Structure 1
Amino acid sequence: MKFSDEDCPVTISSPVISCRNVWKIFGPNPAQHMADQKNGALPDPAQRDQHVTAVRDVTLDIAPGEMLVIMGLSGSGKSTLVRCLSRLIRITGGTVSVEGRDIGTLDETGLIELRRRKMGMVFQSFGLLPHRTILDNVAFPLEMRGQDRRARYARAGEMLELVGLKGREGYFPRELSGGQQQRVGIARSLVIEPDIWFLDEPFSALDPLIRREMQDEFLRLKGLLNKTIVFITHDFDEALRLADRIAIMKNGAIEQCDTPDRIVLHPATEYVARFTADIDRARVVRAAGIARPPSGALPDGEAVAGTKTVRDLGRQIVTDTRAEIPVAGSDGRLLGVMDREKALDILLGGAT
């Protein structure tokens, strides 16, 4: 079963990025191959073997300030989809719009301007210039813009301080650890002040301890910066830790796009359920994720924070005698109530 965007509980009225029925097929006659698949026709075996459907009929909206994590196994189409969203590659069918503008209609000049002004990108390979200092590496995009030396170095210095590398401006890439080099890549992508930030498995080459450190650093930056972020990973734990929403891909299609809470509690397909089978739901599901309207009068007593996980609230859930526990948002507004029995089931590993 394919999970459609219509089933997603998140409503986005003014998306920053919107793609509709996007296809990307590699091969000698991709348009015909796409038409055959849409019509349910069986393509000629020779033609089928010459084509690869990397992205299959994807419809997706990304909200301002949202962090969408796209995940899936190797070959699922996640990296290709991001390259379609940034038009690093041309799509075979459908549309991709950025702030309401179809980027497929942009000429080369318009596309370059969009990337320079709106988009930052970080990939698995750090791509640092080995013969340039760290400060020069971070300032390089501003140099390409023609910005004067003093201004670009000042801005680059600010970004290095932001990612915790103040004092290393004169180092060369070979003199830094892998985690520090990755921070330089992040600083370089941020120096242009992008509104949209694409990250393609930026931590996959790092060892587990440095990877965790970089996730912590990224969460800190996310709290400081108001960016729309598309983050690719094949690591489900990483996705659960970082995402506002997760899009899980298989064979080029999105199986489910939803909040971490709902994906863990309500997997839409058997494939998604296999991803979530070994996850400790109590450390993922937040109080807000299971909040609902009260069954009667609002219970007395203090509300719990909606951002807290069931694991965080474990002691209170066990000792609280109320059948329904009020849940409040960060602004103090009541979101609903948490069913204590359901929360206990999640905490103690009971039935979904």
Structure 2
Amino acid sequence: MKKLIPALYLLFTGSIVASSQETSVVFFDQHNERTVSKNTANSYKVFVEDATDPNLVSVKEINLYTKEYNTGMVTKKDSLNQGVFKYYNSEKQLVKEITFVNGIREGMASEYTNDHKTATYPFSEQFIKGTVEEFYVSGKLKAKKNYLSNTDQIIRVINQDTAAVNYLLQNGRSDTLSLKEKMYKIEGIYDGACTYYYESGTVASEETFQQGKLIKALFYDTLGSLVKTEKNPWNLDKMPSYKGNYINYLSNNIRYPNKALEERITGTVVIGFNIAQDGKMTDVWILKSVHPLLDNEALRVIKSTYKKWSPGKYHNIPMTKPFIAPIIFNLQ
């Protein structure tokens, strides 16, 4: 494995701190490549020379869109992440700590929710290996997940198994990413047993993976009774669902405002809302407005469904999830 580490250095690093100035700013695009213009940038990094160590430079990276940021140190010569990096959300709350050794993720990492440690991740040679534990804010065990421990096998899956990689990326497709990007975004490969628990301690889901592929999942209710056997990896993360025929309900209950009819106002109003763990609708808002008349009618009909939803689930555990509802008004 000694031959692998220099290769990982080449994949994940590239010198960007070459200025003799004490402070410098560098912009990066969505692919984490340098760009000279802020207009095409997705994020930027602020580098400040460390007065206590001439070989290190402090860095703060800020996402221009989400306002999330991270802080840490990099080597001045090669821009390798060195030591503990801390990651914060847009509200300046600590969400993750990862330790780097010469640019490679190494050692135990932690995640936080509202200042409570909610996960621990053992990194080795850039990847999560072994067993990960996740916790509820209460401190009770939420999940125990096993990962591949062989670096060569991990890289093979990332490089060759498109289906497994797409599942791990969740919000993206691997065919748009380079190997370097995939290896950075995918922290590890599920392998073996992954068990998820309700906060009561009862098992919610028992999942079995083989080198990133879901073999089988068993779902249980809060009393411990088996309710479903699942082999589709996408069904491990389920969106909220309407109890009944959603399209028919909208069609039968939308009332085109008379004044909007007279003025022939048309368009698609897009409504966003959350479905809480108990199935209740919360936080209704307009994502795309057309006209106050149509906006108000769209809000009215969506709010009238507030008791008719089943919550989304993540590994069979009810979760608060958003839902997007386009409401079309036309005169055809």
Which structure has greater strand proportion? 2
TM-score, normalised via structure 1 length: 0.24
TM-score, normalised via structure 2 length: 0.26
Work out which of the two has the higher radius of gyration on C-alpha atoms and give 1 or 2. Answer: 2
Higher RCO structure (Cα 8 Å, ≥6 apart) = 1
Which structure has greater helix proportion? 1
